């Protein structure tokens, strides 16, 4: 369960997702030599991993750079945050279409 947050990280941030450290290690992410300092809701300096992410509903299957935060930094029931750079790379329904707003997944 990822929180979609267009205010998290900018277009040129060195990461696309914020995930729990245990998930980055469990899915054999490759740790970078770089760390990043976060502010806002999750504050501190954390390592960056390259992790393969697959989200079939959004036609996403690629390796992305993620910030590995402590497991306690994520709210209960949330596994991480999809940041602006990641979200702006997806188009699904009208998401990513500047002429429209929102994500439509199904009609009535």
Say how many Å lie between the first and final Cα of the chain, rounded: 24
The tokens describing 72, both together, are 């306690």
At 47, list the tokens: 């390592």
- For residue 22, is it within any domain? yes
Which structure tokens are listed for 106? 């199904």
Place of tokens 């945050």: 81
Contact criterion met (CB below 8 Å) for 51 and 27:
yes
Q: Is 76 part of a structural domain of the chain?
A: yes
Structural domain contains residue 23: yes
**What's the pLDDT tens digit per position in 73-101?**
887 778 888 888 888 777 655 555 555 54
Q: Token pair of 84, please?
A: 């602006």
- Bridging pattern class, strands 2-4 and 80-82: parallel
Task: Decide if 60 is inside a domain.
Answer: yes
Domain span holding position 24: 2-87
Q: What is the pLDDT of residues 2-19, one digit of tens each?
A: 888 878 888 888 899 999
């Amino acid at each position: 369960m990822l929180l979609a947050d267009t205010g998290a990280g900018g277009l040129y941030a060195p990461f696309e997702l914020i995930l729990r450290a245990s998930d980055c290690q469990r899915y054999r992410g490759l740790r970078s030599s770089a760390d990043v300092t976060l502010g806002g809701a999750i504050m501190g300096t954390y390592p960056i991993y390259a992790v393969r992410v697959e989200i079939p509903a959004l036609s996403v299957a690629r390796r992305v750079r993620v910030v590995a935060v402590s497991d306690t930094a994520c709210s209960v029931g949330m596994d991480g945050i999809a940041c602006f750079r990641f979200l702006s790379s997806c188009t699904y329904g009208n998401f990513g279409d500047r002429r429209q707003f929102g994500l439509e997944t199904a009609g009535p």
